[in-house]
Each structure stands twice: as C-alpha cells, then as structure tokens.
Structure 1
C-alpha cells in the first residue's frame, strides 16, 4: 500500500486524510506542528472571530453539522466541529502532534520522500501532501520601531486571552477581515480604540441569523433542507466570483449594495468619507459585517487614515508627526498568504529546491494548484491560485482531496515509479491563470492575493464550480512517471479514469 505523509491537520489535511482512508488508498501519517487539530480555527481565537461563509457551506459535504447556532458560525463552534470530525473519522491515532516539519527531500534512488521535523525526527513515505494552509503565518507590517513599544503588542492570529484591554487605550493596525471582526468585539470594553486604516474595505451586510430549534430539526431530519440552503449560498457566491474576471457587470450591483450599507450604517458624513473605498470592488477581500461600521462610529473609537511613520515607545507615530499614545497595539495585518510552504525546505529531483523554482518564476505556481514539475509524488492542498475571493474553501479542499486520492491510486499501480506533473501541463495551466488574472479586478491593486512583484499567486480566477469540474478526473496525460534508473518517461499505457472519478486500469476494470 502506498505510504503518505500529510503535513498539517487543519481542514485541508483532514479532508485529504479522510478521502484516502475512506477509499483504502493509503497508509498514512499526519504531522501537525501544534497540539490540536483545526489549523486556522485553532490559532485565531481573537474576540468575535468567526467565518464569513455560511456555516452549512463551510463544512464537509460528507460530514454535515445540523446544529449550527448561527448561519455564520463563530470560531469556537467551527473549532469544535473540526475536533468532532477528527474523532468521528479516527484521525487522532494517525496524527503526530508537536511535529513541526522543517524539510522534505526527494530520494531519487529510493523514490521516497524523507521528511524531517524540528525535533530531529525523520519519516519516509512514497507521497507527501502539504496542507500547511495559506493563513498559517502571521504577517507583521514593515513599520520601523515595532520592537521599541513599551506597552503590550499582539498579532490577531496569536491572540493572548490573558491580555488586558478593559478600559485601556488600544490601537488596531489594519482594517481587513480579521480587524472587521475584532474591532466590534473589543470596542465596548476598551477605554479608547484607535483604528489605523490604510485602505477602507468594501463592507456588505452579513445576513446572519440565529437558527431556531425548528430549523435545526429540519436540518437534522430533512436532508434536503440544509442541502437547499447550502446550494442557495453556493450559487450566490459563485455568481459573485464571476464578477472578478468574466462578467464584470456583476460588480456594479455589488458596489451599489455596499454603498447603500455604508450610508445606512454611518450617518456621520466625515466618518463615511474616511471609510469609503477608493478602489474597485473585488480588488481586495471584501468584508461581511453588520457590526464593523457601527463600531467605528462609537464615541470611544477614532479612525486614523494618516500613514504610520513608526512605532515609538509611547505608541504609534503617523506621518504628520502626531504620536498616538496607547497601552496595547493589535496587529490585524493578515498573513503571508503568498509564501506557500514558507517554513519547509523542499528539495526535489536534481537537487532543485521549491523556493528557488518559485523565485525564478516570480512567485508560486502549480498545476491545478497541486503539483509542481521536478517534485514527484508531492501534492499541495490550497496551493497557488486555488484560494477564493468568494465561496467556500472546503469545496475546493474536497475537490483536491479527490484528485490527490486518484493520484495516490495511480502511484500504487506503478510500483518502482513516481508520478510527476509535466512541464508542458504546468506551464499551460499557469499561462491560462495569469492571462485571466491580468484582465481581472484582482490585478488592479495591492492585496494579499498578490506577490510583491505584482503577480497574483493566490486566487482562483473563475467560478468555484469550474475548479470542481476540472479536478473531477485526474488527467494522466498531464503527468509523467519517474524511475530511479531511467529518469523521466511518459507512461507506456496511460491509465484511464472513469466518470465516477475512480482510477481504472486500461481495460476499464476498477482498482481493487
């Protein structure tokens, strides 16, 4: 049986593990750096943290949760759901917690990966799946003097529940999705709250509701009821995603809805002018919130749009020379989302490192966001150009899990050889992505979607359903086999994949 190491026990890693286990495809081990599952929902425990995708959609299709408290679940409930899934599918016995992977090296003679953790342990497997996630490494801003502050500072993704904020002067740097949840979560408790805004986000109504008892019962006993809500939000979000590239007319009504929301929630014209976006909707990640804009209008909250010059011992100094004295600084500045596999030194065939390959191409690339030439039997979950501006990332994860499972089955049918995506397939896919992205709204302003050189490396530039369709069946013609003796060769008799997504032998007989 093919051996598989999965790096990360968040939603991505667990999704792939369950797919492999349910099909009996692999002998697997999950290496998780932390002491618990859950990934981003384990780490992000700041006040009022929650999901901005409807809960019925932000969950595995094979493991629906019928008793969500709210349509948009809060962090603790999502984290609990992740823990429950790990228990339900017996994943804990396959996870080695406290295992921070630092390197992965391809053995060209043994056709296996050697994976090393920070504690010096080494593991070998036929296949490695990276599920480290895009939102795992907090991004600190390039501001002078960060280490000079005399007070308390914290990044929102590393929130300390013991931090003292009651009646204190607090600064929040950033106005993205995390800040839009955090600010209304702490504003009633702090003495003074100063929000440092570089760019105002486009804010939309959240349409959140608390699910009554009868609705939970309907979700539980009428399978189609929750499925109907899931499909409704899927269609709505997928339609919005079309506005990024192919149907720009979609953006006009979206902008109108956001402006109307702004007018209704911010009566003060001076504040409204400050928090009105000055870029096209969709260029940056939008915010869904009914609480963020009203929080900015509170008497103890002020919004500063002057650029930050430096952090000083007393607080934050802006470009106009004003020193805003504070006791606590919260950096709600997002993540290093374009630094895929940032913490792992990955070395493939011929001693090529993944970091060098991506540096040479001007940013991360990958066939379907999952495979890179010269790195056999290595797959990524939520890799380059597969993150979403609208929609449920769980849907993408399930699509990738199925595709990776097909690849593992194909590898199992070819003992003594490894599977590698071809240069031509990878280049053609990347060219297609970049051509679409160049004409999309995503390329028109700086955002976490873009590499510092301007290349959009994060986002999928199409409807989410289009990604599901493209990953439904593994295309053997996009891959080559690698031998420890003969180098790279094309398959003598390419495998076929049937319409159910199961890898089959050339004669059509399913793999047993």
Structure 2
C-alpha cells in the first residue's frame, strides 16, 4: 500500500518547518515531514560538540514572525537553538506530522498520476502531489580519505557525531580541520586534553566576536514588547547585510571595504598570537569573503598555550597510535577529532535521488550542465517540486532570511495555482535560463571572481568552479523577488484548466 498525502517534506530542520508553517497558512494540512534523524532541528539536533554556538547574532538567527526573547547571549549556544526548534514545532503543531528515523532514498515523478512517489529505506513508499526537499546545506558529514585511517587504534570522533560519553581529560588529541566548527571546538579541546595537535590545510579569516550575556531586564523587555526585539533584529540585519553585500557581492566596487575587514582580522590575529611564525601560518592567502569568515575571541589565543601545536604539513599516514606528516614528523595521539566539515556538493545536491519528468535525474542534470534553480527553489521538468537547498538559494548571512524568502515564494506560487484552479506547476525552461544568466552576471563583481580565491578551498564553489551557492542579491531584493516574480515564469496545469501545453513547446529545451 502507498500512503497518499497532499505534500511530503524531507527534513525536519528550520527549513522544513518553515515550509510546513507556510502550508498550514495556505490551508494544506495533509502533509508529513520525514527525517532520518531521531529528533527535529536539523543541524542543531545532529551537532552537539563542545563550544557549539550560532555564528551570527541570535536576534537575527530566528524566524521574524517567531522572535525568541529568551536567548541567553548575543551568540546563543547550540542547546538554545535546539530548544528554539522544539518550541517552534510545538507552537505550530508540527510534531504530529513528523516521522523520525525515516531515510528517504528516492523520489520519482509519476506523469500519469501527476504525483511524486517517495521511497523510504525499509518502509512503505509514499505518494504526494507536492514534494519539498529541506535536507539542509550541511547535512552530509565528510570523512577525509587518508591512508591508514582504518588502522587507528584510538578514538575517532567526527564533530557532527560527538560522543558525550568519551572523557577528554588527559588525552593526547589531534584535530583535523580549521574551519568554522574547529574555531569553536579547538579552545574547548585545549582546555581539557593533555596535548592538542591541530592539523591545518587552509587557514580561516577570524574577526573579534562581540559576545556578551543578554541581561534579564532586556529579555523581559523583548518578551513584553516584541517590537523592540524586531528593531534589534533589523539593526543587526543591516550590519550583516553591509558585510555580505558590500564586501562580498560588490567586491569590485567596494574593494577598500573588503580590505578593511581583512585588516581587522589581521589586527585581531596580531593582538592574540605572540609567535610570528604561528601568525604567518594562521594568515590566509586568499581574499576575505572567499570562504565564510567566522568570529572568535579565544581561537587564536589557544595557540599560545604550550601544550597546543599547529601543523601545516600535509598528513601522509595515520598509524595505529599516531599521525605522520609529509615532513616526516610523527605525533602520538589517543584521540582523533575530525572537524572536516560536510560533503556539500557531491552528496548533498540533491541529498536523495530525484527523477522528474522525462526521466531527468536532478543530480546528473546539475553535474552534466550547470548547477541551477529558478529563484533558488524550482527547476524545469520537476513539476510540483520545491527544493529549499538549491543553487542560488542562500541569501545573506542568516539562513532564516533564505527560509522566509522561500516561504513567500511558496505562498505566491500556490496562491496563483489555486486562483487558476490548477494542481501542477512547473517553471519554464526560458525563465530558468534567464534567471541563471542574471545570477551569473551579478556574480561577476563578487569577491569570488574579482578577488583571490584560488587557495580558499571554499564550499561556495561547486565542482564546475562556479560560486553558485549564494544568491548574489541583497536580502531586500530577494524578498521582493519572492513576492513579485512573474507568474508567467511558471506553467500551471491541472483538472480545472484546458488541455495543458508542454512548457517546452513554448520555450524550447536545454
């Protein structure tokens, strides 16, 4: 038996919950939310490593329509984000639609039934008129392919699968990676282990973190007058928008602003690290903004401690009790921590097999042509599919800006479908091609193409070498487009329409 639903949402993180909230607002309540994990919250459920915290101000990292007055700090710790996710699920009655421990393996469009057939590992398939993929950008942990990894006799912990039962006290530890996760984790490890060796491939730009507790009177003010918190959100959003739009997207016109941010990071490093050689190793050779920068007041200082070592020679071999680098140095360790990030492009675009009309495989199409998605949410020949983690979808520095813009797009799209009495939507090939061309032109002024990003190893770049993760428009523009995109960019068909024309017959194929 195949369970029939109006909609299936894959992913119970903030993106999936945002889509669910919008469906409820539209009067579509026959939906299920599937997630492979044991609980909701996405990355804030999976990640629980020491030092985990949001990397932008808490007032910005939340739904604008559901402010949280209870953040304890300007940069809230991870457990508070998890509690916020639980609160949202409870308030908006989402839990009863969630199914955990459910791994979706594929979704295929049935042209005859005009529905998606969703296959679940070890379970019965589901059928849905509409499919929403909200699997997140950072959901597939990456394990480095280093010779000897399987021979290591000590403990291996990935930052995305932290073992709370393992004691760090007195351990000789090594950590591979110096990205945003490692910046938070390394000071916490150094405070507990006997020895810590940090293996760095690419240094990261780090700027000071203006982080303080939020006083209780301020929290009470936020709770009593939500408008005050919304005003604080707008102020913080404006600052972040200036950083991302001016310094990153308009790098050609505002090169001095980007250089100013780089000087701030260099001054921060100089003030915190005593040894000149260590400072040299920790200084990136790529332009500020090629990789997402991060904030910390403790990361650099950690390298002043006598029991912390920084290694920049490449790892050649992992032995049963140590690590050997290309310069011949072997370091004995008991614990190996992998802060190696996530496999963003190879296994996450898409995270499950998706086959649309005419047998078009989404992953293969993206890799054979270019990574592309109209307004960051829909693709031609994938009817009734809304992909919430797609190329050109990420707007600004807070993921919630992206989520809420996509919610607006869903509202306009489904509203027009209802007005026409249609049951199926599909973006036209021409609209998709025009959007891709606009995004490509806009990126020409960005740091990704005008700066020096050759050594950045940034996940912003896809396997084709294009910076197609970010949508190169201001947040205001992204939200405006979500409310005003041309409705003729979609072909609407269904029972209440006349005989539908194949959208390809009007605009050609690619």
Q: Please give the alpha-carbon distance, in whole angstroms, between the structure 2 residues aligned to 1:2 and 1:191.
A: 55
Does residue 483 of structure 2 align to residue 472 of structure 1?
yes
Q: Check conservation: 2:428, 2:504, Cα contact below 8 A.
A: no
- Counterparts of 1:45-444 in structure 2, within 5 Å, are 45-242=48-245, 243-246=247-250, 247-339=254-346, 340-362=348-370, 364-387=371-394, 391-414=397-420, 417-443=423-449, 444=453
For the structure 1 residues 421 and 86, does the alpha-carbon distance in structure 2 shift closer, same or farther, using more than 3 Å as the test?
same
SS at match of 1:244: helix
Q: Check conservation: 1:481, 1:489, Cα contact below 8 A.
A: no
Q: Please give the alpha-carbon distance, in whole angstroms, between the structure 1 residues aligned to 2:123 and 2:195.
A: 47
Query: How far off is 1:482 after superposition?
Result: 4.9
For the structure 1 residues 201 and 180, does the alpha-carbon distance in structure 2 shift closer, same or farther, using more than 3 Å as the test?
same
Mean alpha-carbon deviation: is it higher for 337-346 or for 166-175?
337-346
Query: How far off is 1:2 after superposition?
Result: 8.7
Query: How far off is 1:115 after superposition?
Result: 0.7
Q: Please give the alpha-carbon distance, in whole angstroms, between the structure 1 residues aligned to 2:417 and 2:35.
A: 25
Query: How far off is 1:439 after superposition?
Result: 3.9
SS at match of 1:103: strand
Q: Please give the alpha-carbon distance, in whole angstroms, between the structure 2 residues aligned to 1:482 and 1:160.
A: 51
Does residue 10 of structure 2 align to residue 4 of structure 1?
no
Q: Check conservation: 1:241, 1:462, Cα contact below 8 A.
A: no
Q: Check conservation: 2:377, 2:387, Cα contact below 8 A.
A: yes
Gapped runs of 5+ residues in structure 1? 493-512
Gapped runs of 5+ residues in structure 2? none
Q: Please give the alpha-carbon distance, in whole angstroms, between the structure 2 residues aligned to 1:122 and 1:481.
A: 27
For the structure 1 residues 355 and 348, does the alpha-carbon distance in structure 2 shift closer, same or farther, using more than 3 Å as the test?
same
For the structure 1 residues 436 and 375, does the alpha-carbon distance in structure 2 shift closer, same or farther, using more than 3 Å as the test?
same
SS at match of 2:484: coil
Query: How far off is 1:435 after superposition?
Result: 2.9
Q: TM-score, normalised by structure 1?
A: 0.91
Deviation sequence 1:413-469 (CA, Å, 0-9, x none): 455652111111111211222233344222423211112331223122232222112
SS at match of 1:303: strand
Q: Check conservation: 2:380, 2:427, Cα contact below 8 A.
A: yes
Aligned to 1:496: none
Aligned residues: 490
Aligned to 2:502: 488
For the structure 1 residues 33 and 405, does the alpha-carbon distance in structure 2 shift closer, same or farther, using more than 3 Å as the test?
farther
Q: Please give the alpha-carbon distance, in whole angstroms, between the structure 2 residues aligned to 1:62 and 1:172.
A: 39
Q: TM-score, normalised by structure 2?
A: 0.92
Q: Please give the alpha-carbon distance, in whole angstroms, between the structure 1 residues aligned to 2:218 and 2:423.
A: 52
Aligned to 1:42: 45
Query: How far off is 1:49 after superposition?
Result: 0.4
Q: Please give the alpha-carbon distance, in whole angstroms, between the structure 1 residues aligned to 2:40 and 2:238.
A: 30
Q: Please give the alpha-carbon distance, in whole angstroms, between the structure 1 residues aligned to 2:357 and 2:292.
A: 37
Query: How far off is 1:16 after superposition?
Result: 1.0
Query: How far off is 1:245 after superposition?
Result: 2.5
Does residue 458 of structure 2 align to residue 447 of structure 1?
yes
Q: Please give the alpha-carbon distance, in whole angstroms, between the structure 2 residues aligned to 1:312 and 1:473.
A: 58
